[in-house]
Structures are given as C-alpha cells and as structure tokens.
Amino acid sequence: MRPPTIYDLCRPRQDVLEGRIHGNDFAADLSQVLTGKVPELYRNPTLFFLPALTATWAASSGWTPKL
C-alpha cells in the first residue's frame, strides 16, 4: 500500500479552483522587502515565522487547541 500523496490529503481553496488566485500572487517581491515598502510582518522574521514555529511546537509537544 502506498502512502497518500499531497493531492490525496489536501484540497485547494475554492478561489484557487475557480482561477481567481494565480501562482504569482504568492511570489515575493524582495525589492519591496529590501526597501521597507512592505508591512511589518514581512520585515520582521520573528513575526513572519511565528505561526509556523508555533504549529511545529504544538505538533511536537502534543498540544491541541481547544475550540
């Protein structure tokens, strides 16, 4: 039995399926980062990576949020 692929596990958002979002919408314009013409989230590595680091910590510690 083969393990599931990313395509088996994930479903694109509706806006992607409808073609309202394109790959270049996710591309970074690093010149704007270098000149500071982006929100603080993109200039501050701690703010930028915090969600991913929090998710990694939560997964490794067994913590699950209470909804």
Residues 47 and 41 sit within 8 Å (Cβ to Cβ): yes
Tokens read off for 26? 């996710």
CA 10 – CA 53 distance, rounded (Å): 21
What percent of the chain shows pLDDT beyond 90? 1
Residue 66 pLDDT level (bands cut at 50, 70, 90): low
State pLDDT tens for residues 8-31: 888 887 887 898 887 777 777 888
Q: Provide the sign of the torsion angle of the four alpha carbons 51, 48, 14, 27, taken in this order.
A: negative
Indicate whether 67 pLDDT > 60. no
Q: Are 23 and 17 in contact (CB under 8 A)?
A: no
Average pLDDT score, the chain: 80
Structure tokens at 59: 């997964």
